[in-house]
Every structure is written in C-alpha cells, then in structure tokens.
Structure 1
C-alpha cells in the first residue's frame, strides 16, 4: 500500500474533525502541531426562544516522530471546550491515542479515536449546523464505537488497484467497560469488535461496516447489540458536487428489545467563491421486537449554507424542518446562524 492510498484509507477519520492544524515544530523527523476550532451561534426553534450556542468547539495537539524504515509514530490529544459557562469541566476528552503508520503495512492506533465504523458511516456527517445525529444518539455511542470509540485498538490498510480503484479495510476492538450515572450502574458492555470495508473508484466510494458485542442493562439479561451500516458517496464535500447516503440498521436483542433503521442523505454543491449549499434528510424508525410495533423516532430535512470568508473563518446558517408529525407528535423546526474559527 502506498502513502497516497494510506491517506485514502484513513481520510474518513477526518469527517468528524474537520481538522485544520498549524505545525508549530518540525525538526529532525519530529513534528508538533495544534488544531481545533471555536464555534458560536445564535439558535432557536418554534418551541424555544433564541439563545447563544456552540457547535462542538475543541482544541487538539498532535505529534509525529520518524522511526525509520518507513515507520512513523503519532500521538494526539483532543478536548471539547466549554465556552459558554463557568464550570469545573472546562475540558472533556474527545480523543487520545498513540499510533504507528507505515506506507505498506498500514496503521495501528490505540486509545480513544475515530473508529473504522465511522470511516463508512461518516460520509454524511459533514455540515456544521445540522448533520448525522443518529450516530450520536444516547451517551454511550463512544462505548459502542459508532463514531469516536473509547479504549479502542484499530488497524487500517488498503490495496491500490490503480485505475480500477482502491479497497480499504479497517478493524477495531474495544475492551469490557460499563456506563454509569454517578455511582449507579446503567449498562455493562462486553468487548466489542468491528470491521469496515470500502471501495473507492472514479470519485465514488462504497462502504460497509459491522459492529457487534454483548451488553447487559440494569436488571436485564445479556444480549448482542449489533450495528450494520452501508454508505455511498460521490465527490468531495466543499469542492463542487457532493452526494452521499447512509443506512444503518441496529438490533438490541436483550436490553431494549428494539430494532432501528436510520437513514441520512445529503446533496451539496460548493460554488467557486466557496459558498457551499446543502440539503440533507434524516429519518429513524424504531421497531419494538416484542410487540412488533413500529414508530418514527425522528424525520428531518435541513437547508444549509456555509461560506469561507478566509480558510480559517467560516460563516454558516441552516434551517431544519421537523417532519415527524405522525401519531400526534408536535413538530419543532429549528434554525441557526453562526461562525467557526479554526485554530
């Protein structure tokens, strides 16, 4: 695998980071960089008055070291920033890992990181204002490894077939952990494994990923919690036409006894002046397996615009229509206007 393909193999890991880093040091095979962004906005909805908010501000530090013989060591730490409140939790961990990469032998990372599953699932998680929310549902998404994955060991590699395209493979493993509310045990997670496959050719990318592992809820029997995701994408977000879609199916066999089908579609077009216009649709359908009843958990359509005043300063706005009026649900359209400054 060449270096170009390695970049393709791990490129999806940057979906959620939208990373822009400044190199502060580069000498004798060692580098040190700082990145992240500060985002603030004014937002509101039909149900709530306007207020000041944020869009996942963060700061990160990264370092690399040339180990010789084509191997490079890498370390990164990233923390979410609390911009709006005085709090004892001004920083909370988002990423923290050490890895080793090689142009032929692939890359291995250990720690809290973007998961191989997200390499496939993240193709629609790109707009600043409204994006792929179902991947982040609940507080345990990092324990199941759908996006950022806690305590993971991962490996990625790929095969370049020249004009015929490139096959990329990723695998991940997470150890046993639990979820708590203070000292109260909520769920126990056995070790989890996942695999991701994607094929890129002529500007298009097709992917599939699978994640599985047992989970035990408080007072529940232990059972498998499985996720399947399929995705397709064409183009590059922020550069002309970009089209992408994701379908995720989950099955919880013991704790919640639920199955879910989740969809996200996005179409975006970036003009030559850097104005990027997009429309995205998201829906989640829940099936109660014991009663075999189905319901729509969410259904939304968002219109959004992003404009790069400079490479580091981006303005954004969006309006999200709540389409879920089934079963007497009250809809709540949302809007946002804000700015992001990349460090």
Structure 2
C-alpha cells in the first residue's frame, strides 16, 4: 500500500501550484521523497532593478508503514536563497522569514513528525501549516506576489500566531466524507522584539510575548467543483515596553471564510476568494498594532490547453480603527508551462495602499521569472 501523509498536507495539496516529488527510495515498508522548487525573479520597481529569490525551497518526506493500517511520517523543508536575502523589496507575505533568518542561505520552513490512519486521521508535531491555512491558503498561489490580505503571515511567516507556518504546534486532521477537519494547539512562549521585525518602528524595547494558541478549520467539498471553508485562530499575547513599565494582555484573533472553484494547476478555470476579520493581529506601516482589521484575497487563473496560463487577483488588509491604513494591490500575470517541471512567468503589481495618515504608499512592481520544480 502506498504510504500517505493523511490530511496533514491538506493545505499544501489544495494551494500549491507545483506539487511534485521525486522518489529517492521505496520498499514494501518505507519511502523517501525529494520535493520543492528553485525560482528567481527579475524585479523592476521605481527605478530599482534586482534579481530576487523566487521563494525557493527543498523538502524531504519520510514515511513508514506500521501495523493495523497506521503509518509514521516526517517532513523537513528549508527555504533556499539562490540570491542575496538582504533585499529592500518584500514581494509577498510568504517571503517573510522568521526572526533571525533574514541572512541565512538555508532557513527552516517546515519540520514535523506524526502518525496517521485512513479512518482515525493523523496527529503531527512540529513546525507545520496552521489549521486555518486550509481556509486562507486557497488564494496564496501567485508566482511572485500575494499572501498579504488574509493574515496568514503576520510577524514573519505566521509562526508566532499559528496562522501561517505554525511553530511548536500539535495538530489533528481527519476527513469525514466531503468534510475535512483540522484542530491545532501551540504550546509555546515566544518573545518578539518589534523593532527587529517591523520597519519604521521607533527604537525602543517594545516586545510582544506570544503564549499558547489554538486554531480550527472546516472545509467542505460541494458539487460542481466548489468548496467552502471556515476557520478560526486565537493566540494570547502580552505587549510590554519601557523596561516592562507598560504591560497589556491581548487576544490575537483571526476569523476566515473562503470559497473555491476548480482545481489549481489543471487546465481550465480556478477561482478563490478569502475574507477575514482580525483583532490585534495586523500592524500598520508605523509598526503599530491594528486593533481591528478586515482582509480580502481573491485569485483567478485560467490555464489553456496549449499550457499558457493567465492570472489575476487582489489583496487588501485595512484598519477598522478609524484611520486610513490599507495595504492593497491588484495582480495581473501570465505564465507558460514548458512542462510540469519548468515554467516562466511574469506578474505586475498595481499598488493602491494608503498610510495611517491617508498619504499614498503605492509601489508598483513588475517581475519576470522562472521556476524549476522537482
């Protein structure tokens, strides 16, 4: 029987435009696969031209058949910098790395171990896609931009909050017919110095201390290639500063719903939209926490029979605190798939962002790149 990562990689399978793997070893009990892709982009923005990394990553998946229908598995994935990481251009939310990794050639993206059963589901421990990403990840599939509106990658890669690539997480996943269920808990205490993570913040000792968090997501497959999802994530956070003279305990919450049509990567139409509401989760351009915010991500792709693909979409996250802060942009792109392993692409980002005080903060960007999957 072929070994499976039962429900653990649901979010990845639903959202990655280039799922592929190379089998390195297989016998009647165990298997080892190599996966990932290498990519690079030539980026032009306001007179600044540079070659940037294309979210390159490499992973190994191990699996071993146990008794009574159970299997054990593990996965390790690293971000790989093909070019310098010291870039002033942040192209998308998922390109943000965790604290201390900005200059690393290799940095951890995922790393978990678990066991699963086709009937009883799977349990995993480690750094893994958060449960809510099963809902928010359906629009995070552009080749260059995206991932900024749904709140998945707050404060780096979403590891602190559990909404993105959750750190130190334990997760249960199972499927009941067309219903997929994911439940997650983080048992951690992470200290986040904001002046190291967020640009534009004054030089002080303001810190966030993230405590335990939990998340839940439900996705349901409907007829006619439709699916819907709903998810919730909550983390306890304490804000301290001025030598601990200021201290405030808050709940960081993210609620998301999504609707998806079609299958990503196949010929024909794929469309998805995500809407979110959040409290104490987002930060504006000054590095200030936004008490209440609303987010939207939308993505539409169409792949023709001749392997030409067109893409379009929208990302927005805005403050509901009575100010003008909004990070918003539209994306238009095209890609050509020479094969399932290699493609070239181009995307244009039309920025419509505004700052806290209402001033415009537009930064239009054109990117041309290539990706090799393995």
- TM-score normalised over the length of structure 2: 0.82
- Which residue number in structure 2 is paired with residue 215 of structure 1? 237
Q: Provide the C-alpha distance between the structure 1 equivalents of 2:116 and 2:360, rounded to a whole number of angstroms.
A: 50
Q: CA contact under 8 A between 1:30 and 1:65: conserved in structure 2?
A: yes
Gaps of 5+ in 1: 161-165
Gaps of 5+ in 2: 86-101, 197-204, 242-246, 282-287
Deviations 1:59-103 (A, max 9, x none): 111110000211111111111112213997221111110011111
User: Which of 212, 219, 223 is equivalent to 1:191?
Assistant: 212
The alpha carbon displacement at 1:257 in A equals 5.5
Q: 1:109 to 1:329 in 2, by over 3 A?
A: same
- Which residue number in structure 1 is paired with residue 163 of structure 2? 146
User: Which of 81, 85, 91 is equivalent to 2:106?
Assistant: 91
- Which residue number in structure 2 is paired with residue 19 of structure 1? 19
Q: Provide the C-alpha distance between the structure 2 equivalents of 1:77 and 1:17, rounded to a whole number of angstroms.
A: 19
2:320 partner SS = strand
The alpha carbon displacement at 1:328 in A equals 3.0
Q: 1:69 to 1:23 in 2, by over 3 A?
A: same
Q: CA contact under 8 A between 1:179 and 1:185: conserved in structure 2?
A: no
Q: CA contact under 8 A between 2:352 and 2:360: conserved in structure 1?
A: no
Larger helix percent: 1
Q: Provide the C-alpha distance between the structure 2 equivalents of 1:323 and 1:24, rounded to a whole number of angstroms.
A: 46
Whether 2:269 is the aligned partner of 1:241: answer yes
RMSD of aligned Cα (Å): 2.4
- Which residue number in structure 2 is paired with residue 335 of structure 1? 366
Q: CA contact under 8 A between 1:178 and 1:186: conserved in structure 2?
A: no
The alpha carbon displacement at 1:9 in A equals 7.8
Whether 2:189 is the aligned partner of 1:177: answer yes
Q: Provide the C-alpha distance between the structure 1 equivalents of 2:126 and 2:157, rounded to a whole number of angstroms.
A: 16
Whether 2:336 is the aligned partner of 1:307: answer yes
Larger strand percent: 1
1:331 partner SS = coil
- Which residue number in structure 2 is paired with residue 231 of structure 1? 258
Q: Provide the C-alpha distance between the structure 2 equivalents of 1:28 and 1:190, rounded to a whole number of angstroms.
A: 43
Q: 1:10 to 1:94 in 2, by over 3 A?
A: closer
User: Which of 317, 326, 338 is equivalent to 1:284?
Assistant: 317
- Which residue number in structure 2 is paired with residue 163 of structure 1? none
1:211 partner SS = strand
Q: Provide the C-alpha distance between the structure 1 equivalents of 2:141 and 2:107, rounded to a whole number of angstroms.
A: 22
